[in-house]
């Protein structure tokens, strides 16, 4: 912990640390990493608490079954691990620890539809791993999971939830039979408008291509353009598309903070824009711990700039799908209000996708139409 300051994902830091410190076995590495994540999950509350007390408090809050470590150090806590998260915070305060659930998450305006207490409490549970079954493999993927004795839960119409630690690499053909994609990200599917055969679609912040896979699977034979500022993720995207057997697309390396020079070509532009990622911090609690409010305004300005540069590429009557994995109003409703006021866009549908109720990420999606 003393050698980490949040510059890189903690998983990378831990891996580098254990590669230097050979004395730890696999069980040790797993436990040490878990205890560190318990520390981070307390977020912004009790920042001056001693490290050991903070780790144990986090472990208590993250534990629902009796725990050997708690039994050894805090047996009275171990008797109460089945309490709800709010009840655990009340109990810890009764023991003299100044821990408050409402202080875990940054006190900033949430988007409409985010329930503060259950959302914040969800950060003490590891989210599930979700896959989206691709068309034609609806029976094959569940049968392969069952044959590998992997517990799973089907979520209609084509989602499957699996414990986060499970490896699927040797079980199913990833990208061909199913795509690893968070449940809330999959539910942006419901916002996709109908696009005619051969219509041009631009996934302008494509990253590894999850939304592009979804567009191809739902809308079929369309002309797809994918772009990103990072060459490395575009290289990965090309590999994934090859495995999936996707065709009729072009890949463009583009910096969207600059004018694109593209006019009225696309019937749909999808912008899954850079953001704080605040709806995903239950997966990466170190980002919650190190978050600084000054970054929020920077992201909001970046989002407005990117959207302003890509909207001219939409045909009149075409659609703009705005997506973030943020729960903050500044990155969601405030940006939508800006776009409607400055670019004459019409609101069609959208809002918060509350994944915290289903051990998934929480996202925001809004479909707009160009007049």
pLDDT, position 299: 97
Give residue 194's pLDDT band: very low, low, confident or very high (50, 70, 90).
confident
Global pTM reads 0.94
Contact 347, 117 (CB under 8 A): no
Q: Hey, what are 85's tokens?
A: 């998260």
Average pLDDT, the chain: 94
CATH 3.40.50.150: does it fit domain 183-370?
yes
pLDDT at 364: 98
What mean pLDDT do residues 82-111 have?
Answer: 96
Where are the domains positioned within the chain?
10-104, 129-180, 183-370
Helix (H) or strand (E) holding 51, with range, is: helix 51-62
Res 196 pLDDT > 70: no
- Is 17 in a helix, a strand, or coil? helix
Rounded Cα–Cα distance for residues 291 and 288 (Å): 5
- Counting residues of the chain whose pLDDT is more than 70, the rounded percentage is 99
Q: Which residues contact 77 (CB under 8 A, 6 or more apart)?
A: 56, 60, 70
Most confident of 228-237, 261-270, 321-330: 321-330
Q: Which residues of 275-299 are buried (b: 16+ CB within 10 A; e: fewer)?
A: bbbbbbbbbebbbbbebeeeebeeb
pLDDT digits (tens, 9 = 90+) for 132-158: 999 999 999 999 999 999 999 999 999
Asked if 33 contacts 27 with a C-beta cutoff of 8 angstroms, the reply is no
**What pLDDT score was predicted for residue 248?**
86
Mean pLDDT of 97-104: 96
Provide the pLDDT for residue 261. Answer: 86
**DSSP secondary structure code for residue 83 in this structure:** S
**pLDDT computed for residue 195 by the predictor:** 73
Own/partner pairs for 344-351, CB < 8 Å, 24+ apart?
344/370, 344/371, 345/311, 345/320, 345/369, 345/370, 345/371, 346/370, 346/371, 348/193, 348/319, 349/191, 350/191, 350/322, 351/111, 351/112, 351/113
Q: How confident is the model at residue 18 (pLDDT cuts 50, 70, 90)?
A: very high
Q: What is the DSSP letter of 102?
A: G
Q: pLDDT tens-digit profile of 249-263?
A: 999 999 999 999 888
Taking 80 as the threshold, does the pLDDT of residue 197 lie above it?
Answer: no
Compute the residue count for the chain. Answer: 371
- At residue 179, the pLDDT reads 96
């Amino acid at each position: 912990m003393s050698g980490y300051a949040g510059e890189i994902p903690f998983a990378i830091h831990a891996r580098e640390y254990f590669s230097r410190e050979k004395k730890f076995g696999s069980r040790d590495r797993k436990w040490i990493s878990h205890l560190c994540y318990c520390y981070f999950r307390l977020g912004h509350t009790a920042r001056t608490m001693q490290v050991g007390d903070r780790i144990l408090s986090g472990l208590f809050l993250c534990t629902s079954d009796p725990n050997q470590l708690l039994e050894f150090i805090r047996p009275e806590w171990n008797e109460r691990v089945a309490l709800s998260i709010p009840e655990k915070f009340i109990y810890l305060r009764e023991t003299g620890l100044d821990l408050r659930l409402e202080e875990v998450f940054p006190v900033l305006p949430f988007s409409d539809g985010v329930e503060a207490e259950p959302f914040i409490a969800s950060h003490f549970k590891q989210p599930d791993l979700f896959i989206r079954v691709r068309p034609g493999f609806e029976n094959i993927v569940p049968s392969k999971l069952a044959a590998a004795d992997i517990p799973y839960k089907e979520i209609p119409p084509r989602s499957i939830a699996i414990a986060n630690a499970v490896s699927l690499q040797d079980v199913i053909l990833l990208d061909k039979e199913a795509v690893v994609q968070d449940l809330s990200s999959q539910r942006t599917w419901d916002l996709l408008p109908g696009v005619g055969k051969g219509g041009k679609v631009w996934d302008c912040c494509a990253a590894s291509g999850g939304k592009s896979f979804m567009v191809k699977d739902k809308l079929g034979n369309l002309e797809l353009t994918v772009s990103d500022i990072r060459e490395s993720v575009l290289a990965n995207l090309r590999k994934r598309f090859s495995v999936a057997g996707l065709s009729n697309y072009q890949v463009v390396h583009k910096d969207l903070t600059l004018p694109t020079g593209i006019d009225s070509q696309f019937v749909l532009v999808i912008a899954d824009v850079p953001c704080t990622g605040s709806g995903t911090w239950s997966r990466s609690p170190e980002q919650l711990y190190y978050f600084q409010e000054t970054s929020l305004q920077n992201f909001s300005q970046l989002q407005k700039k990117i959207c302003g540069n890509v909207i001219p590429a939409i045909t009149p009557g075409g659609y703009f799908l705005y997506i973030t994995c943020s729960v903050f109003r500044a990155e969601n409703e405030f940006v939508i209000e800006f776009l409607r006021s400055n670019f004459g866009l019409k609101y069609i549908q959208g809002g918060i996708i509350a994944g915290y109720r289903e051990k998934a990420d929480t996202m925001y999606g809004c479909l707009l139409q160009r007049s």
